[in-house]
Amino acid sequence: MTAPAGNTREDHPRQLRLYSSCELPTEFGLFRIAVYHAEEEREHLLVHKGELTQDEPLFVRIHSECYTGEVLGSLKCDCRSQLHSAMKEIDVRGRGAIVYLRQEGRGIGLGNKIRAYAEQEKGANTIEANERIGFPADMRDYSLAAMMLELNSIRRVIINTNNPEKVAALQRAGIQVTEVIPSTSQPNPHNVDYLRTKYEGLGHSGLKSVVHDDDCNSRSG
């Protein structure tokens, strides 16, 4: 399948194909997992439950890989809680999907992500840290997510995100976004500045209440 024009960082067509799939029992319920191969030789996932193509829009989260948070339990981000919350919500709803993209560190890779973390130890925020090591604040590309949804005939979605770029990418691909449900989690002392930077610097509007509540808590003692 060829990606629609104008919704990728590249100007050339991209390919995506289903490679394997099976049922996956998890602590959040029984899901089905499908692995897709992209031309850059990365494997991306569709984790889903229930009938994907119905008249009602599908609850969808587009989620980028975070090894440090999801595997090692890092407290520097909110990725693991966002992923788990989406899986819980899908289980409650009885249908939904997570598009899991292998683009660690907002697209710069694990090694460079750790380099950026080292810059954060010196006082840089998450945007400044990427720029110090020669990268933009965010290099992620959501065109493959749109392609994966299209391959499964998913044309109307309720998207679970704080990131307006994800909404825009789906809309550019002709996928109707009927509702945006923010993805929030309880901040901790290690990630509250990160969340504030995502809200103030990257426009992740769903974090407004999280940042505001933390500011209030800080002022109250």
Catalytic residue among 78, 138, 141, 214: 138
Separation of alpha carbons 88 and 90, rounded Å? 5
Residue in this structure with the two tokens 């995100």, named with its chain if needed: 161
Ranges of H-type helices in 38-103: 67-70, 79-93
Measured between its terminal Cα atoms, the distance across the chain in Å is: 55
* Cα angle for residues 220, 212, 81 (degrees, 5° grid): 110
The yes-or-no answer on residue 138 being catalytic is yes
Alpha carbon distance 206, 36 (integer Å) = 29
- Report residue 189 as tokens: 């002392």
3-state SS class at 58: strand
Catalytic residue, candidates 61, 115, 140, 196 = 140
Q: Which residues are catalytic?
A: 138, 140
